[in-house]
Amino acid sequence: MYVLLLTGEDSGKVAVWNMAPVRSEEDEKNGNVPKLLCQMDNHLACVNCVRWSSDGRYLASGGDDKLIMIWQTGRYFAGPSTVFGTGGKTVNIEQWRCVATLRAHTGDILDLAWSPQDAWLATCSIDNTIIVWNALKFPEMISVLRGHTGLVKGVTWDPVGKYLATQSDDKSLRVWRTVDWQQEAMVTKPFDECGGTTHVLRLAWSPDGQYIVSAHAMNNSGPTAQIIERQGFKTSMDFVGHRKAITVVRFNPNIFQKVVNKASGKSQQFSCCAIGSRDRSLSIWLTALKRPLVVVHDMFQNSVMDISWTPLSSSRGKSGFELLVCSWDGTAAYIEFTPEELGTPLTQDEMNSLHQRIYGKSMAISTQHTANNTIIENPAMLQLQQHHTAEREKLTANKQVNGTPTKIRNPMLTSPTEKPNPKAQQIETRTPDGRRRITPLCIAPQVDFGDIPRPFMSSSLPMSSAGMVQSSLETAETPKTSEPSQSSPSSQHATVKPLSQCILTTAPMSIPANIQPMKALDSRFTEKSKATSGTKSQPSLPKLDRIAPTTISTVKPKESDRSSTQDTTAAGITLSTKRKVDSLSQPATKRIRKDKPALMAPAAATQVTPAIPQDVITRSAPHPIILPSPPAEKTISLQVGGGEEAVVLELENNIQTAGMKLAGLKCRRGGKVEWEAVLSTRGTMLAGSRKVVCVSCEDRTLCVMSTSGRRLLPALVLSHHAAILHCTGYHVMAVTTAGELSVWNVQTAKVVIKNESLLPIMSGDVVIKTSSVTEQGVPVFSLSNGKVYTFSHALGTWSTLSDVNNSLQQCSDHQTVMSSLNSSSQVKGPLASLQGHDQRSGRQAGRLFRANHNLQQAVTLGHLEDQVSAALMLRSSAEHKFWLLTLVRYLVQEGLEAQLREICDELLGPVTAQGQLSKACLWEPDVLGVSKRAVLSEVLQEVGSNLRLQRLYTEYQDQLDMLHKQPSTSP
């Protein structure tokens, strides 16, 4: 049986050493006595801290890789083994294995500490947080303590388990209660004068629980170790004498007693404290003496980094009399004391009696002590707590494979389509001599975007070799979307040009017929499409041109400066005004070539500059939007749906019949013509769903039919030609060349949105990436600036659904509550598809961790509330419920009762004795087709996971139970 010493290295290794060669020179010279017992190299970066549990069963290590690893000796050991990569020079005498890996911090781990009796493990990091883990059920988290605004570099437990103390670079020491994990006190005065910082700030709590001794304090411009009394957390004493900042303080785990004053002859109880500093020295203090017991100068070549006393369970009667000190220079020192120097230690029973006499029963007196000490006040709450415990155990069991936790994926960013496995298609052959051979298979490189949901909509539709457009909305099993060809001369990007330069070309654009779903996730990340021979297509996302602002100048009139008007041209009416100030005049209109089609600008009345004396006044007119209308191709095809249910619509223009030009529309299924229809004018675009078919015609009309060819509505006349056309379900969306948006519900024969301009969202040189309409008739436009908009008919305005540059989204810290979700709760919908690969939630959260926690909390709440509102705008019921519950989980985690009460009030609604709602009541019992009170039941399940909110849970659960007992009546 070996006595062990544990060290961590900057190479990511954890080493377990034999203490025998350290204690004895004879054993050191004996080649049969091993020195290094085991070396573990699982960490990916520098190991900053290693700690034994009190019973020596486990050891914990934390490092720059943001991981905490829990180690235990192997259950079965076949004998010594060499360490990989050492050429057989390093041999593991013992076998240690990692039994748990704790992942939650977003920064380097600088310190960790086991609670008394090893009930909890506290870790601190440069992400400004302290995480308390349940040491009985790794990797379960008890609480995340937030409040520090600087790097947290030290953590220590109260020996009776009532408090936890932490120290940070924000020049504060904070004390937290273990009952509710809230802050009990904050000490800042001793640290106000501190300049600069140290790598660690390892503070310590005395074994009798009376004092905390901090690192890196100042008193009259001199470095000190501040003594903080437990009673009122007063700061009236300190340890002085070091020349540079204190880096580490460590109390001996024993309480000693001996006769200090020989004159009185009375035995006195006291504690022993070791202090290390950047001045490379070590001092040993007894609380019964005014001066240090011993000071060792120049022990190392660099700063003291850590100190450790032998634990109470140490063998050979050396419990608490051995001291190990390590330095930044990579060396460690061993110091041994005698009972004559330190005193006689109290037994463990005597220490427990002392704690119980002073503080009452220790909160960590037993390892079976529960992680939370709040009293449960009602049976329903107890049952709910048991349910949550069972769910956590089930979730933990599902996440671990062979003892290693699996990677947690964001349920909102999970791809519904599994990637094909090329190995499943390998061909095996055998040579004449019986040997196996695998035929090489060429595997094309695949674009991997990670865990991304399928696209909700793409306004550019893939074309077949016959000019067939494929719908991306109608087949849930095999969705197919694509983007416009980037290499096509007819780009789909919107640009801003003056009217004189608005000469549009209609060169054919080629788009591949078959695009894999994983390659059509987002037009911003899709590779350039290769042209398919014999393919004709039409632009589905038209190029956007603007008319430059007309500058109107008014000067003092003269006879020679009167305005004159020009006749209208093929490009429209151009206003020309003679002025003396040439800098304010419009550039001359470029002559439009006759061989190219031109857009007609809206006709305007002849304008004469009004005569206003003296000052010159300039103003800019609004920027009209001009979208090109696609030309009438000879044939246009569209595939609706997929698989066996797929139908192909074919529109043939220029049909000559009895001297008249008509257009014919055919519907094919499986190669057979199901129905035909005739249009009086040529068609320019096709759109369809499994409910309706729509054709835009050259005479500015829309022809709407059923999937059986029956006309459902009379021809809809638009103010301008159609530039964008979509059908989803019973809803038809059209955008004219003037940028006017309209949406109709064909089933009810009513307009949803009427002639709303795109001008408010088209600011600057932006590009319309995609456009779509949902099953609920909600239009969605994605722009090149990363913003996604929708128009709310109820609010009468445009609303932002997503923005890749949104600071709230990038700095939100809600991933901790999302990672606890069960994998079965994956939700897919329009909002997840729109945000998709651009979702950057939490990328900058680490930076805000170093700022104010209140700011971090406000940012996270803002983002979650925006997600709830966006899902509500899109009328996505599943996503609205998902983000609402995520918001509730975060509020529960932060303990924000006021916001939770507001949500519960909205979901509960008015409660009356008869259970009936008055006609004047404005409260709606449902949201997006889901009962609000049913959602409240799920919200209360989350609220019940925090015992501090049990009274809130009881209040609303009682009201909900009362409503369920009453007969249901409609309002």
| Residues 568-585: tens digit of each pLDDT | 333 333 333 333 334 333
Question: What is the full DSSP assignment across 881-924?
Answer: HHHHHHHHHHHHHHT-HHHHHHHHHHHH----SS----TT----
Task: Answer with the one of 801, 816, 838 that is the final residue of a domain.
Answer: 801
Residue at token pair 């220029």 = 654
Q: What is the pLDDT of residue 717?
A: 94
Residues making up the chain, counted from first to last: 971
Question: Is residue 489 in some structural domain?
Answer: no
Phi, psi of 699 (to 5 degrees): -90, 20
Residue at token pair 């020295």 = 281
Tell whether 731 and 862 lie within a shared domain.
no
Can you list the residues of the chain whose pLDDT is less than 70?
1-10, 75-89, 313-318, 361-377, 395-430, 432-434, 436, 439-623, 815-826, 836-853, 913-920, 967-971
Distance CA 133, CA 130 (A): 10
Distance CA 844, CA 849 (A): 9
Tell whether 656 and 727 lie within a shared domain.
yes
Distance CA 381, CA 945 (A): 9
Question: Is residue 863 in some structural domain?
Answer: yes
Task: Answer with the one of 752, 775, 801 that is the final residue of a domain.
Answer: 801
* Whether 171 contacts 177, CB under 8 Å: no
Q: What is the dihedral of CA 942, 948, 952, 958, to 10 degrees?
A: 80
Tell whether 755 and 850 lie within a shared domain.
no
Tell whether 827 and 791 lie within a shared domain.
no
Tell whether 696 and 765 lie within a shared domain.
yes
In this structure, which amino acid lies at residue 179?
A: V
Q: Are strands 635-640 and 468-470 parallel, antiparallel or unpaired?
A: parallel
Task: Kindly report the number of other CB atoms within 10 A of residue 969's CB atom.
Answer: 9
Question: Is residue 644 in some structural domain?
Answer: yes
Question: Is residue 658 in some structural domain?
Answer: yes
Question: Is residue 387 in some structural domain?
Answer: no
Q: What is the pLDDT of residue 75?
A: 60
Count how many domains the chain has: 2
Neighbouring residues of 402: CB distance < 8 A, sequence distance ≥ 6: none
Of the candidates 197, 166, 43, 48, the one whose C-alpha atom is nearest the C-alpha of residue 108 is: 48
Of the candidates 105, 13, 22, the one whose C-alpha atom is nearest the C-alpha of residue 816 is: 105
Question: What is the full DSSP assignment across 390-421?
Answer: HHHHHHHHHHEETTEEPPP--GGG--SSPPP-
Reading the block at residue 85, the tokens are 């990569």
Q: Return the CATH number at 729.
A: 2.130.10.10
Q: Are strands 109-114 and 400-401 parallel, antiparallel or unpaired?
A: unpaired
Q: What is the pLDDT of residue 154?
A: 96
Tell whether 778 and 889 lie within a shared domain.
no
In this structure, which amino acid lies at residue 707?
A: T
Residue at token pair 């911090």 = 105
10 Å CB burial of residue 192 (0-12, 13-18, 19+) is exposed
Distance CA 654, CA 826 (A): 50
In this structure, which amino acid lies at residue 428?
A: E
Distance CA 88, CA 82 (A): 5
Longest Cα pair distance anywhere in the chain, in angstroms? Answer: 133
What's the gap between Cα 790 and its chain centre?
Answer: 23
Task: Answer with the one of 801, 830, 864 that is the final residue of a domain.
Answer: 801
Question: Is residue 784 in some structural domain?
Answer: yes
Domain that includes residue 675, residue range = 635-801
Question: Is residue 692 in some structural domain?
Answer: yes
Q: What is the pLDDT of residue 854?
A: 76
Q: What is the dihedral of CA 189, 190, 192, 195, to 10 degrees?
A: -170
Alpha carbon distances (Å) from 216 to 51, 282, 660, 878: 22, 14, 95, 52
Residue 853 parent element (H or E): helix 853-873
Q: What is the pLDDT of residue 464?
A: 34
Tell whether 835 and 812 lie within a shared domain.
yes
Question: Is residue 504 in some structural domain?
Answer: no
Q: What is the pLDDT of residue 656?
A: 79
Reading the block at residue 466, the tokens are 């016959």
Tell whether 842 and 946 lie within a shared domain.
yes
* pTM to 2 decimal places: 0.50
Crossing angle between the packed helical segments 379-399 and 950-965, to the nearest 10 degrees? 110
Tell whether 655 and 757 lie within a shared domain.
yes
Q: What is the pLDDT of residue 605?
A: 39
Tell whether 795 and 812 lie within a shared domain.
no
The DSSP code for 460 is B
In terms of phi and psi (left: phi > 0; alpha: psi -120 to 50; beta: otherwise), the region of 725 is beta
Phi, psi of 308 (to 5 degrees): -145, 130
Tell whether 779 and 811 lie within a shared domain.
no
Tell whether 643 and 779 lie within a shared domain.
yes
